[in-house]
């Protein structure tokens, strides 16, 4: 082994029988260390790299100056480049949903022990009657107010569903809600519901007395309408598979983002023939 080869092997910390991959890996590592360690002679390391690499391949190809230049720049500024890439990815992650996801004009949520059917009856009906609507969101959230605090295991559901329900109500992502009695009472207890008296009066909606669900207004203690039993409403009840044990109560979140659309939709849903 000639003296120069031995010298360069020692400089890069390589064994005599090193492979081309090991030479490349070692050189990249030295370039990276040179960012913070000014004692490393990167030019001498490059000479050793080129010499050893050319001796370890059958048809040696010298490293182009432009490649060598950008290799040094990459390892010298790798931290800065990484930060820029992270910031760019974060901006994209925020911006893309903002431009691609359109907020619904109306949200109708079934919340309770229900299973959704594949039907578009309600959407088609409301799109026809309310041409200003471009995006209706119909969703089924399988949840109960009981969470895990129930006597029997088969009646117990993940408590996280209650947390999700609360967050959706506070954020205004729930507007028209069709739920069972347990979920209704949970929502009512936290004062998340809008009174329906004024809406029924404004649109002259007649509701059978037996279907009216009352609640006590916290601020005054008076009895007001917070829900309407829609178990017999074919348009609404046929949207999901319903167990006869569970009533279906229509109510409105007091944080509704599109109240005008909500009121119009309630009128159409309750008066549909």
120 and 231 together in one domain:
yes
In the beta sheet, which residues pair with residue 8? Answer: none
92 and 115 together in one domain:
no
Report the CATH number at residue 226. Answer: 3.40.190.10
71 and 133 together in one domain:
no
For residue 35, give its domain range: 3-98
pLDDT given at position 127: 93
Domains of the chain: total:
2
pLDDT given at position 247: 79
131 and 36 together in one domain:
no
pLDDT over 50 at 151, yes or no: no
pLDDT over 80 at 182, yes or no: yes
pLDDT given at position 210: 92
pLDDT given at position 157: 42
Provide the 3-class DSSP secondary structure of residue 134.
coil
Residue 256 has φ and ψ, to the nearest 5°, of -55, 130
pLDDT given at position 223: 92
44 and 148 together in one domain:
no
User: Quick check: pTM over 0.85?
Assistant: no
Which of 96-134 are b and which e, b meaning 16 or more Cβ less than 10 Å from the residue's Cβ?
Answer: eeeeeeeebbbbbbbbbbbeeeeeeebbeebbeeeeebe
Per-residue pLDDT, averaged over 2-17, amounts to: 84
């Amino acid at each position: 082994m000639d003296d120069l080869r031995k010298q360069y092997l020692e400089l890069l910390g390589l064994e005599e029988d090193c492979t081309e991959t090991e030479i490349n890996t070692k050189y990249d590592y030295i370039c990276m260390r040179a960012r913070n360690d000014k004692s490393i002679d990167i030019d001498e390391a490059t000479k050793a790299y080129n010499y050893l690499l050319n001796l370890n391949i059958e048809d040696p190809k010298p490293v182009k100056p432009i490649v060598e230049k950008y290799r040094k720049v990459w390892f010298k500024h790798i931290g800065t480049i990484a930060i820029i890439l992270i910031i760019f990815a974060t901006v994209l992650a925020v911006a893309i949903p903002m431009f691609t996801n359109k907020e619904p004009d109306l949200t109708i949520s079934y919340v309770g022990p229900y299973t959704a059917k594949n039907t578009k009856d309600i959407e088609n009906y409301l799109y026809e009657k309310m041409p200003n609507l471009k995006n209706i969101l119909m969703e089924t959230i399988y949840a109960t107010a009981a969470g895990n605090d129930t006597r029997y295991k088969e009646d117990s559901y993940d408590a996280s569903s209650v947390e999700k329900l609360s967050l959706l109500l506070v954020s205004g992502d729930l507007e028209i809600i069709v739920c069972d009695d347990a979920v209704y009472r949970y929502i009512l207890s936290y004062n998340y519901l809008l009174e329906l008296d004024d809406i029924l009066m404004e649109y002259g909606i007649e509701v059978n007395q037996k279907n009216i669900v009352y609640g006590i207004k916290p601020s005054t203690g008076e009895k007001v309408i917070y829900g309407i039993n829609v178990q017999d409403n074919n348009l609404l009840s046929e949207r999901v598979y319903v167990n006869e044990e569970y009533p279906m109560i229509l109510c409105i979140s007091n944080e509704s983002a599109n109240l005008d659309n909500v009121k119009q939709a309630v009128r159409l849903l309750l008066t549909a023939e």
